[in-house]
Amino acid sequence: MKRCSVIDIGTNSILFLTVGKKNGNRLYPVSQKQYNVRLGKGVEENRNIENGVLDHCIEVLQVLKKTAQEQQSDKLIVVGTEVFRKAENRIQILNKIRDDTGLDVHILSEKEEAEASYTGAVKGNTITGECCVIDVGGGSSEIICGHNREVKNFISLPSGAVGLTEKFIHSDPPGIQEISSLENWIETELDQYSFSALPFSNKLIGVGGTITTAATVYFNLKHYDPEVIQGKELKFSDIESLLKRLSQVTLLKRKKMLRFDPERADIIIAGMEIVKVIMNKGNFPSIIVSDLGLRFGLAVKELIS
């Protein structure tokens, strides 16, 4: 097998990555795409995926299935994460996707999601030794600690940027009390899930749209360029400073700051608050930005194992 494509259907985005293999087991990203579908809109409260956003999801999946064929992928993997784990109508949704696209969606367990994100981040950054990875998504957040490519322990918070935005952010720009309540809630969740018991190291990698978007804004890029941000390091003070900048302006101004991905402007604050609280409680001085995470990890498993 020389090429593998992965579609990751998340709470906020549908992400696509094709990975190629050459010269033995050397893997490289061929292409990637992102569509902000917001499949998880209202799921936190209603526990159901809405038909309107499902139609958009199906349209995107049809396009990506064709893209994988055009890129001559030997294997197409389609996975779903927290949005499906939470949705009570998941069976109807999966059947509808299968009927309309011919694609079978595998709902990743928390453990599978954590392991794939860790593998992708570590392999993509050629990290050895002890390492921690955080993957902040729209519907959940994974904190994974391991050694080399082996996961030692992890926790999966059933909370992400979309759900926490819907729960706490109601003003424009967000009020001081809203931000304070959001931070306190995240800290309480981390304590509840035994965050302090994780085998931490000083090496932290961040994957997912929150941290890659933050890096693009921080480095003032005019468009998203994975080759520029991959492996870049942001200090805790950089995260604090950027979060302050974003949270003090209106949604319209945040969209201009996120000109490469304006649809993420409403949820970026909640996502970065998760990163900030995790770094603070874990005493992480900095975070390595990685464009390669869950999708790359799934492709690694398929192409190498």
pLDDT at 24: 75
pLDDT at 70: 96
Residue 200 lies in a domain: yes
Token pair in block for residue 223: 């468009």
φ, ψ (nearest 5 deg) of residue 292: -105, 120
Pairing outcome for strands 75-80 and 106-107: parallel
Per-residue burial over 210-240, b = 16 or more CB atoms within 10 Å of its CB, e = otherwise: bbbbbbbbbeeeeebeeeebbbbebebeebe
Q: CA 36, CA 297: separation in Å to the nearest integer?
A: 21
Q: Tell me the Cα Rg of the chain.
A: 18
Overall domain count for the chain = 2
Residue 213 lies in a domain: yes
Do 178 and 80 belong together in one domain?
no
pLDDT at 125: 78
Domain that holds residue 139: 126-294
Distance of CA 91 to the CA centre of its chain: 23
Do 104 and 172 belong together in one domain?
no
Do 57 and 86 belong together in one domain?
yes
Contacts of residue 138, Cβ cutoff 8 Å, sequence gap at least 6: 10, 11, 12, 13, 38, 40, 82, 83, 160, 161, 162, 163, 209, 267
Helix (H, G, I), strand (E, B) or coil at 104: coil
| Amino acid symbol at 92 | Q
Q: CA 244, CA 272: separation in Å to the nearest integer?
A: 10
Contacts of residue 198, Cβ cutoff 8 Å, sequence gap at least 6: 132, 143, 145, 153, 154, 155, 282
- Residue 76: how many other CB atoms lie within 10 Å: 19
Which residue, 110, 141, 161, sits at the end of a domain? 110
Pairing outcome for strands 204-207 and 130-136: parallel
Q: CA 164, CA 151: separation in Å to the nearest integer?
A: 27
Residue 82 lies in a domain: yes
Do 275 and 130 belong together in one domain?
yes
Residue 74 lies in a domain: yes
Token pair in block for residue 169: 């952010």
Which residue, 75, 110, 145, sits at the end of a domain? 110
Could you tell me if 131 and 145 are in contact, meaning their C-beta atoms sit under 8 angstroms apart? Answer: yes
Q: How far apart are the first and last CA of the chain?
A: 11
pLDDT at 305: 67
Integer CA distances (angstroms), 180 to 21, 131, 302, in order? 47, 29, 43
Token pair in block for residue 222: 């005019």
Do 169 and 272 belong together in one domain?
yes
- Sign of the alpha-carbon torsion through 179, 183, 189, 193: positive
Helices (H), the chain: 43-46, 51-70, 82-86, 90-101, 110-124, 161-168, 176-192, 209-218, 226-229, 236-247, 251-257, 268-281, 294-304
Could you tell me if 195 and 143 are in contact, meaning their C-beta atoms sit under 8 angstroms apart? Answer: yes
Ranges of residues in the chain with a pLDDT under 70 are 305
Q: CA 135, CA 212: separation in Å to the nearest integer?
A: 11
Place of tokens 């933050």: 214
